[in-house]
Chain A
Amino acid sequence: MSAEPLEQPGPEIDLDRVRAEIDQEVRRKRASGELPADLERELDLVFARFAPVDAVLGDFDSVMARVDELTQIDLVAPLDTTNPAVAFVKRAIRKTIRWYLRWVASQVSGLGHALGKAVRLLADRVGALEQAVPPPGGTVAREARLAGGEPDLSEWESLLVALLNDAPGRVVHAEAGHGTLVARLLARGVDAYGVEPVEALAQRADEEGIEVRLDPVAAHLRALTDGVLGGLVLSGCVDRLPPGSLVELAELAAAKLARGGRLVVIGTNPSVWGRERDPIGADLAGGRPIHAQTWRHLLEARGFSDLKVAEAQASEVRLSPVPGSDAGANVINANLERLNELLFPPRAFAVTGVR
């Protein structure tokens, strides 16, 4: 049969609306119990029995359940064959060596049980550690991320465009939120896309036609081929990740940027972090921002050159000077100025470098 391009015109249908209705209907049926609550989980578990463990995205409990299942070694090997003689031979072999297999299998099962128990004990200890120090990708980290909303990076736009407009390849912004900076960079001729670990934000970008890929930042960078990026802008995540993860980001930046590639790290000044903006994010974060000098040090050690630090504009909130020009007023005003510097330093900085 062949295609017939000349079709009778018919009514237009908004497929986005249809899709939204389908999603809504599924939610409604799940909530009302009209759709079996455990059906999908049950189907996943059935497939997980036959798939390699690392092919199935499962939680710890599912994987351990699989381990328990695999620990039970089946001694009854299948006899599938179309040849009756072969089936007879197979059955005979199976029967003959059964005592031996049972002996070996009991030891392998014992080892499996012991290893499973050891892994569970280890998991308990990891769980306790995670409660004390939330991991970068965990629930608490997600809450910390969402509390901050979309940071305003507009004051860095000119610096970014000047630095990135002749980058030797595509530019990634991570974390990109719902893609405001990516859209601005694209509008100014920089070939950029974003990476954002929170689905709701990435989806909003998608709805607005901005390319923001749903991925944890480090995982996305790890998956890229070495030397493939022309530029990398890191913001947001660099304020909340623990030091080990920040060092990994520096290493990934060095690995994934092409020669001549540009890196920009936009961080919050540690001395104002959580004070003026995003106190919830600051309280819940697993890490905290590090100083611009520390970024400089990390990047220099990883081969970045032309490293510069730019500071955001100082806060407009200041302690007002006392009127008068006598000696007493001058001393007070000098002290106030020092207090202003301590209390209201620039909120953020950008460290730039070239690979």
Chain B
Amino acid sequence: MAGAPSVDAVHQFLPSFRRRDAIGMHTVAVQKLVRSMGLQSEIYAWDAPAADARGLGVRDYRSFARRAGASRAALLYQLSTGGPVGRYVLDRPEETLVNYHNITPARLLTPWHKAVGKELDEGRAHLLALASRARAGIAVSAFNEDELRSAGYRRTAVAPVLVDFDALDSEVDVSGLDRLAGGKPPGGMDWLFVGRVAPNKCHHDLIKAVAAYRRAFGVPARLHLVGAPAAGSYLRALHQLVEALGLKDVVNLTGSVPPGLLAAHYRSADVFVCLSEHEGFCVPLVEAMRHRVPVVAFAAAAVPETVAGAGLLLRSKTPLTVAEAVDRVRSDAELRDFLVRRGVCRASDFDVARSSARFAAVLGEALGAA
């Protein structure tokens, strides 16, 4: 049983804050949770655009020393990459907790963006360096917890990412939904993937798979890729690939979209296909399951754990295997219903109230053990 917290504040640090990405939403939810525990809590970041930080009081991390005053604070570091915030946290004397969202292996990004690769390597170095001094490591998945333990963290626990999926279920953009429905050819099929356009998410494999599906099965499928670009050269290569394969009217790289249009995409999708090489959790999988979209996914990293038997997991992602799997979901109504039913059930496991209770227990345990 945890004792009373030995601190009166838990301040969060993260390299980059975006209001609508998974870590950003999680950080805000954790702040609310910590405050509800009667502790002070502020968010400190290095890169926080004004539009994202507005109204949430996200501060520059360098102002922490000046603001901290005499409070007995613990630092909760939202670790997902390297950068100056990690170095800063390492140098601080306060008790530190690590909330680990996983670090993409640099080998997946370095060929496309060397600087990002270096940052990821630095993140791994921070993960290791913090192992000996962090009071505990909180992982958003068992896959991540395994990495924490491999890195030498003695006290670890799993608490899911805190995302209020109900709040994300905004009103569907009706005109967007009409556009999507209207553009769908008769007998066609809409594939969907949601996530940053980054090499580790393997959008190129999705494009190859949809090309193979159209050629081998003759189904006029479309592929909607929703998400903001992270590496410019990768996005350029995707556009070139689409053009070279003659799929300009088939593959829709939307960029970042407003919540209503995102909901429209989920609503109109026939299948959610994820061929990511590396995911520490993958929030869009949960969103897809909530929206009753059957999931076909490559069984990499934390994906099998997030899906947990509610999606069709593939051991191989060769284009023809993916195409065959998607076609099976299309043509087998019983399988599709099963995946939808299981998906809705699995998504309910990530109910924010339940996840918050778990996070509060883990955090309280870690703080009480000071």
Contact = CB atoms under 8 A, between A and B. Distances in A.
Contact of B169 (A2, A12, A18, A223): A2
Q: Is the interface of B mostly helix, strand, loop or mixed?
A: helix
B116 interface: no
B337 interface: yes
Contact of B321 (A12, A23, A169): A23
A43 B211 contact: yes
B215 interface: yes
Given A7-B341, A225-B128, A35 B320 contact: yes
A152 interface: no
A170 B149 contact: yes
Contact of A191 (B149, B241, B312): B149
B241 A18 contact: no
Contacts, number: 137
- For chain B, the bracket of interface size reads 35 or more
Interface in B233-254: 233, 236-237, 240-241, 244-245
Contacts of A40: 208, 212, 318-320
A46 B313 CA distance: 26
B290 interface: yes
A9 B321 CA distance: 29
B152 A258 contact: yes
Interface string B206-227: 0110011001100000000000
A5 B344 CA distance: 6
A170 B147 CA distance: 10
Interface in B128-169: 128, 149-152, 165-166, 169
A15 interface: yes
A3 B165 contact: yes
A144 to B, nearest CB: 26
Contact of B320 (A19, A26, A53): A26
Interface in A1-39: 1-5, 7-13, 15, 18-19, 21-23, 25-26, 29-30, 35-36, 39
A298 B271 CA distance: 55
Contacts of B112: 51-52, 55
B348 A5 contact: yes
Contacts of A29: 216, 320, 324
A36 B344 contact: no
Contacts of B236: 50
A100 interface: no
Contacts of A54: 110-111
A170 B314 CA distance: 28
A49 interface: yes
B325 A22 contact: yes
B320 A5 contact: no
Given A15-B312, A30-B320, A1 B335 contact: no
A55 B111 contact: yes
A1 B325 CA distance: 27
Contacts of A258: 152
A227 interface: yes
B328 A22 contact: yes
Contacts of B91: none
Given A13-B338, A52-B111, A26 B324 contact: yes
Contacts of B283: none
Interface in B148-202: 149-152, 165-166, 169, 172, 199
Contacts of A168: 152
Interface residues of A, number: 49
A16 B321 CA distance: 14
Contacts of B347: 3
Contacts of B207: 47
A341 interface: no
Interface in A41-71: 43-44, 46-47, 49-55
Contacts of A55: 111-112, 199
A47 B216 contact: no
A140 interface: no
Nearest to A13: B338
A3 B343 CA distance: 9
Contact of A10 (B128, B244, B338): B338
B49 interface: no
A228 interface: yes
Contact of A18 (B128, B208, B244, B335): B335
Contacts of A8: 341
B368 interface: no
A168 B266 CA distance: 46
A169 B152 contact: yes
A169 B150 contact: yes
Contacts of A11: 334, 338
B314 A19 contact: yes
Contacts of A51: 111-112, 204, 237
B124 interface: yes
Contacts of A12: 338
A111 to B, nearest CB: 23
Interface in A131-187: 168-170
Contact of A3 (B199, B290, B315): B290
Contact of B241 (A19, A30, A47, A227): A47
A304 B149 CA distance: 24
Given A39-B319, A52-B111, A228 B204 contact: no
B34 to A, nearest CB: 26
A335 B334 CA distance: 77
Nearest to A169: B152
Contact of A39 (B149, B215, B289, B345): B215
B263 interface: yes
9 contacts: A7-B344, A11-B334, A13-B335, A15-B309, A23-B315, A47-B208, A49-B244, A50-B236, A227-B128
* CB-CB nearest 8 A-B residue pairs: A55-B111, A5-B348, A50-B237, A50-B240, A43-B208, A52-B111, A3-B290, A54-B111
Interface of A: 1-5, 7-13, 15, 18-19, 21-23, 25-26, 29-30, 35-36, 39-40, 43-44, 46-47, 49-55, 168-170, 191, 203, 223-225, 227-229, 258
